[in-house]
């Protein structure tokens, strides 16, 4: 039943016939995820309970951005090899990518209880809390990740944890603490063009009234992601603060057009249109906001 379910959507007529385990591993390492998946599936027909083949198949599916198809492989692998940490980590990532956050939280909570000294587990749990909006819990878990005995020793892992922690600090209301660490994080070469961190810095600078520095950071964010709605929304706010209403309107309209479901740029446009006497345009945006609110749409900061 398991094998039949996870093979759905793949044509065996195009399978890599006669592929060996080494061939499948080489395909995965080379990033040829579809070919690797087909090779692993072929091998699993002969050895359906081989943990290494299940692991390779799951990772291939993750490479194909198919977490729902990856989950049965990792679940079976963790049953066969319950002490294999990497399988449980991959399973938690697949759960998160598939939007199965409760399953991911249950798994990671159990794993951190079993081994509270493993920073990688706490980091994964912290990122899960971040993605589900529990920012204070995310900060707590990421603090544990950065401090426990088996911490995040690899530079890339530690940087990832520190970045998510900084953003979670802002979202949880600890902006002053975040402001102490964000500039140093942005000074690292690997973070210089990281959009989420740049936007957090724009927000921090805006909140403290340093609009000139915030605009400079928004220029960097614009260069990194010229079609990102949040970038244009923050630039609209900054132009509004500097009294450049026409430019503020242009940026807010751009943000609205890039993310038509967001109420934030429309709320700003209502104020800007009214300031410039464009009452018909303001009324149109206000009507959209009333419909959005009556439909129970989520607000955005």
Segment 70-107, tens digit of pLDDT: 999 999 999 999 888 889 889 999 999 999 999 999 99
Tell me how long the chain is: 301
pLDDT band at 17; cut points 50, 70, 90? low
- Answer with the residue of higher pLDDT: 299 or 168: 168
The yes-or-no verdict on residue 298 having pLDDT over 60 is no
pLDDT band at 297; cut points 50, 70, 90? low
User: How high is the pLDDT of residue 3?
Assistant: 47
What's the start-to-end Cα distance of the chain, in Å? 46
DSSP state of 217: H
The yes-or-no verdict on residue 8 having pLDDT over 50 is no
In this structure, the dihedral spanned by the alpha carbons of residues 211, 216, 217 and 221, taken in order and rounded to 10 degrees, is 120
Average of per-residue pLDDT across 208-234? 97
User: How high is the pLDDT of residue 6?
Assistant: 45
The interaxial angle of helices 51-63 and 21-29, nearest 10 deg, is: 30
The yes-or-no verdict on residue 47 having pLDDT over 80 is yes
The mean predicted confidence, pLDDT, of the chain is 91
- Answer with the residue of higher pLDDT: 139 or 86: 139
Average of per-residue pLDDT across 278-291? 97
The yes-or-no verdict on residue 187 having pLDDT over 50 is yes
| Percent of the chain with pLDDT strictly greater than 90 | 80
Q: Report the predicted TM-score, pTM, of the whole model to 2 decimal places.
A: 0.75
Among candidate residues 248, 255, 245, 203, the one with its CA nearest the CA of residue 225: 255
The yes-or-no verdict on residue 172 having pLDDT over 80 is yes
Q: Are 207 and 178 in contact (CB under 8 A)?
A: no
For the chain, what are the domain ranges?
1-99, 117-188
The yes-or-no verdict on residue 173 having pLDDT over 90 is yes
10 Å CB burial of residue 82 (0-12, 13-18, 19+) is exposed
The yes-or-no verdict on residue 300 having pLDDT over 60 is no
Among candidate residues 246, 240, 202, 249, the one with its CA nearest the CA of residue 222: 202
> Which fold, 1-99?
1.25.40
Rounded CA-CA distance 287/230 in Å is 22
Q: Are 146 and 165 in contact (CB under 8 A)?
A: yes
Highest mean pLDDT among 84-93, 223-232, 290-299: 223-232
Diameter of the chain by CA atoms?
Answer: 73
Rounded CA-CA distance 60/2 in Å is 17
Q: Are 98 and 63 in contact (CB under 8 A)?
A: no
User: How high is the pLDDT of residue 9?
Assistant: 43
Tokens of 291: 């419909």
Average of per-residue pLDDT across 245-261? 97
Rounded CA-CA distance 21/28 in Å is 11
């Amino acid at each position: 039943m398991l094998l039949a379910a996870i093979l759905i959507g793949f044509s065996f007529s195009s399978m890599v016939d006669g592929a060996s385990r080494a061939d499948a591993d080489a395909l995965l390492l080379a990033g040829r995820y579809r070919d690797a998946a087909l090779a692993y599936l072929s091998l699993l027909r002969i050895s359906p309970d081989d943990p290494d083949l299940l692991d390779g198949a799951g990772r291939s599916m993750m490479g194909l951005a198919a977490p729902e198809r990856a989950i049965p492989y990792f679940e079976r692998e963790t049953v066969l090899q319950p002490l294999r940490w990497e399988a449980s980590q991959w399973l938690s990532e697949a759960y998160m990518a598939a939007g199965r956050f409760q399953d991911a939280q249950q798994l990671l909570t159990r794993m951190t209880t079993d081994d509270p000294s493993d920073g990688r587990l706490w980091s994964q749990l912290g990122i899960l809390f971040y993605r589900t909006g529990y920012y204070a819990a995310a900060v707590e878990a990421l603090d544990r990740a950065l401090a426990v005995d088996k911490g995040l020793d690899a530079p890339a892992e530690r940087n990832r944890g520190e970045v998510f922690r900084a953003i979670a600090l802002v979202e949880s209301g600890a902006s002053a603490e975040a402001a102490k660490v964000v500039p140093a994080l942005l000074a690292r070469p690997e973070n210089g063009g990281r959009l989420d961190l740049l936007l957090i810095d724009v927000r921090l600078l805006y909140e403290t009234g340093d609009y000139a520095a915030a605009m400079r950071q928004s220029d960097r964010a614009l260069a990194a992601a010229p079609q990102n709605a949040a970038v244009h929304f923050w630039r609209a706010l900054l132009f509004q603060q500097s009294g450049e209403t026409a430019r503020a309107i242009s940026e807010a309209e751009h943000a609205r057009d890039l993310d038509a479901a967001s109420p934030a740029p429309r709320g700003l446009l209502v104020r800007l249109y009214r300031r410039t006497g464009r009452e018909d345009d303001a009324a149109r945006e206000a009507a959209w906001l009333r419909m959005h609110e009556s439909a129970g749409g989520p607000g955005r900061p």
